[in-house]
């Protein structure tokens, strides 16, 4: 039977460690602070941001939520960022994506002080990560590494295949795996003979954003499967394709009219030695690592 890698339990452990760090900093008169900019009223973003703000409260981190309207301009957003860059009590700045099409997302992310870039998206932090220097790494791939290490999965010498080349997950995940002495291959939607490559993977990371994209035929028996995807499906035919006979999922689908699935077909999990479920796998680690990055930023900014 494959091992289910419990992201919820690992995230809880990381948050406990963060809370202890916050208490130690409090003795020095330091309280880490996180500012979140949320534009507009996208329900999914609002839910996610509420979770971040609540986590800050739970762990003793100061948080501040800035909510410009959807009519906000790039210039106004840049002014918000410039103000936050200059505030000593703010250690981390997070701009919730996606932004309205009228706002220049790249310009905003580049405007964040790299020392406060707790999302790890700034080119300076990306360069530091590549060079193996101290940096604020993107939260989701950093969470993947923590999950693997804390689950006792040795990465040294293993062949890790990352399917997906985004700046947010795919590329930094590949770099972090490389720093753990894995041999890394990056694939994407235009990779030829993709299945031949994924079948070579000891560790397969799927981050391509397509429901059930990685089929059982694309997985080497005994591989560790890391599913970063978070896709909601409401089409009955898709549900039957991936979850036929799954009574628990059937009950959720009947109640909500939809269910979550990752980028890996659940049938592939049966071939693995270990895998991350969706939900409950990689997802919970993103906020936990955001909290950890905020505390790390607070310490790095003060030379601690």
Q: Is 96 designated active site?
A: yes
Share of the chain above pLDDT 70, in %: 100
Instruction: Establish if 240 belongs to a structural domain.
Output: yes
- Residue 44 counted as domain residue: yes
Would you state the torsion angle of the CA atoms of residues 223, 229, 235, 237, taken in this order, to the nearest 10 degrees?
Answer: -10
For residues 139 and 169, is the Cβ–Cβ distance under 8 A?
A: no
Mean pLDDT for 195-218 is: 97
pLDDT of residue 62: 97
* Per-residue pLDDT at 43 exceeds 90: no
For tokens 């916050």, the residue is 22
Which residue is catalytic, options 15, 91, 96, 263? Answer: 96
Residues 212, 264: contact at Cβ < 8 Å?
Answer: yes
Residue 2 within any structural domain of the chain: no
Active-site residue among 91, 117, 119, 227? 119
**Is 62 in contact with 33 (CB distance < 8 Å)?**
yes
Into how many domains does the chain fold?
2
The answer on 155 and 112 residing in a single domain is no
One domain for residues 128 and 150: no
- Model pLDDT, residue 47: 86
Torsion of CA 161, 166, 169, 171, to 10 degrees: 60
Q: The domain spanning residue 253 has which CATH number?
A: 3.40.50.720
Task: Examine the domain organization and report whether 35 and 149 are in the same domain.
Answer: no
Q: Are residues 108 and 187 in the same domain?
A: no
Give me the domain span that covers residue 102: 29-134+286-299
pLDDT band, very low/low/confident/very high, at 141 (cuts 50, 70, 90)? very high
DSSP string, the chain: -PEE--HHHHHHHHHHHHHHHHHHHHHTT---EEEEE--S--HHHHHHHHHHHHHHHHHT-EEEEE---TT--HHHHHHHHHHHHT-TT--EEEEPSPPPTTS-HHHHHHHS-GGG-TT--SHHHHHHHHHT-S----HHHHHHHHHHHHTT---TT-EEEEE---TTTHHHHHHHHHHTT-EEEEE-TT-TTHHHHHTT-SEEEE-S--TT-B-GGGS-TT-EEEE---EEE--HHHHHHHHTT-HHHHHHHHHHS-EEE-SB-HHHHTT-SEE--TTTSSHHHHHHHHHHHHHHHHHHHTT-
**145 shares a domain with 206:** yes
Nearest-angstrom CA–CA distance, 71 and 294: 29
Residue 258's pLDDT band (boundaries 50, 70, 90)?
Answer: very high
Q: 1 or 196: whose pLDDT is higher?
A: 196
196 and 292 housed in the same domain: no
Question: Which tokens is 299 given?
Answer: 């310490």
pLDDT at 45 > cutoff 90: no
50 close to 94: Cβ distance less than 8 angstroms: no
pLDDT of residue 48: 86
Residues 195 and 83 in one domain: no
Q: Which residues of 90-123 are buried (b: 16+ CB within 10 A; e: fewer)?
A: bbbbbbbeebbeebbbeebbbbbbbbbbbbbbbe
Distance CA(210)–CA(290), nearest Å, equals 25
Residues 204 and 292 in one domain: no
Q: Which residue has the tokens 């995807």?
A: 229
- Residue 189 confidence (pLDDT): 87
- Catalytic, 54? Answer no
* pLDDT score for 273: 98
Return the pLDDT at 55.
96
Q: What is the pLDDT of residue 42?
A: 77
Domain contains 106:
yes
What is the per-residue pLDDT for 40?
84
Provide mean pLDDT across the span 155-180.
97
* Tokens 């880490």, residue located: 32
Under a CB-based contact definition with an 8 Å cutoff, are residues 99 and 70 in contact? Answer: no
CATH number at residue 126: 3.40.50.10860
Has residue 304 been placed in a domain? no
User: Do 237 and 148 belong together in one domain?
Assistant: yes
Q: What mean pLDDT value characterizes the chain?
A: 95
Q: Encode pLDDT of 208-251 as tens digits.
A: 999 999 999 999 999 999 999 999 999 999 999 999 989 999 99
- Whether the per-residue pLDDT at 44 is higher than 90: the answer is no
The token pair at 252 is 């959720």
The answer to whether residue 52 is catalytic is yes
> pLDDT tens digit string along 86-127?
999 999 999 999 899 999 999 999 999 999 999 999 999 999
């Amino acid at each position: 039977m494959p091992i289910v890698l419990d992201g919820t339990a690992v995230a809880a452990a990381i948050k406990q460690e963060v809370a202890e760090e916050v208490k130690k900093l409090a003795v020095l008169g330091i309280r880490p602070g996180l500012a979140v900019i949320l534009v507009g009223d996208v329900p999914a973003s609002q839910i996610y941001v509420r979770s971040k703000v609540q986590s800050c409260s739970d762990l003793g981190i100061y948080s501040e939520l800035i909510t410009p309207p959807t009519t906000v301009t790039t210039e106004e957003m840049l002014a918000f960022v410039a103000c936050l860059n200059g505030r000593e009590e703010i250690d981390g700045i997070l701009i919730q994506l996606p932004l309205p099409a009228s706002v220049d997302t790249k310009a905003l992310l580049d405007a964040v002080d790299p020392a406060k870039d707790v999302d790890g998206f700034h080119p300076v932090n990306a360069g530091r990560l590549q060079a193996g220097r101290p940096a604020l790494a993107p939260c989701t791939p950093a969470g993947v590494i923590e999950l693997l290490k804390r689950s006792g999965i040795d990465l040294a010498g293993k062949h890790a295949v990352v399917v997906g080349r985004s700046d947010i997950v795919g590329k930094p995940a590949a770099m972090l795996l490389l720093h753990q002495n894995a041999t890394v291959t990056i694939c994407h939607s235009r990779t030829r003979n993709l299945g031949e490559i994924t079948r070579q993977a000891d560790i397969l990371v799927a981050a391509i954003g397509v429901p059930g994209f990685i089929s059982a035929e694309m997985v080497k028996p005994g591989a560790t499967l890391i599913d970063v995807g978070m896709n909601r499906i409401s089409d009955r035919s898709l549900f039957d394709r991936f979850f036929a006979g799954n009574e628990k999922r059937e009950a959720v689908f009947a109640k909500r009219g939809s269910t979550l699935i990752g980028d890996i077909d659940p049938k592939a999990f049966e071939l693995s030695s270990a895998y991350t479920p969706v939900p409950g796998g990689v997802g919970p680690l993103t906020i936990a690592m955001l909290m950890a990055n905020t505390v790390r930023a607070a310490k790095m900014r003060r030379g601690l």
